[in-house]
Amino acid sequence: MGSNDEPEEVPRRDFLGMAVGGSAAAFAVAGGYPFLRFVDPPAQQPSGPVNIGKLEEFPVGSARTVVVDERPVLVIRTGDGFRAFSALCTHLQCVVAYSAERNQIECPCHRGIYSMDGRNIGGPPPRPLQELSVTVNTGSVIVSAV
């Protein structure tokens, strides 16, 4: 018999059930995004040249992910100039990132690895990243399809 003032105790079995259920739901959401991107991939090419910012916003040795036509584009400025790739991994469409430490492009989802020219060199990605062209016009950085 308990009074109404005492907190109700949650049985250990119920608590574990809730914890396992919550973890399964979080895992389903995290894994669902790449699956949905695979089933319904975004458009593959930008519709036209897109101004992504001023040259001074891209210091040498840096990388930025910008959104072009509603999809992420990884823009890397090296000592030799710019490289730009679709930032969607060719495995299950997770967003890739530049690693300055390892001088390569990496996918966090399943450890996919791409070289600095976009070639798939490690992990599950089946194809190179789609490359985009980058030009600089009167101080503005412009991305367009190759």
- Residues at the interface with ligand FES (CB under 6 A): 34, 89, 91-92, 94, 107, 109-110, 112, 123-125
In whole angstroms, the minimum distance from the beta carbon of 125 to ligand FES comes to 5
Return the exposure string of 69-80: e unless at least 16 CB atoms fall within 10 Å of the residue's CB, then b: eebbbbbbbeee
Rounded to 5 degrees, φ, ψ at 16 are -60, -40
Copy the structure tokens of residue 120: 């798939």
Least distance in Å: CB of 108 to ligand FES?
Answer: 8
Comparison of 54 and 127: residue with beta carbon closer to ligand FES: 127
The minimum distance between CB 111 and ligand FES, in angstroms, equals: 6
The 3-state DSSP class for residue 58 equals coil
Which of residues 73 and 107 has its CB atom nearest to ligand FES in the complex?
Answer: 107
DSSP, res 103: T
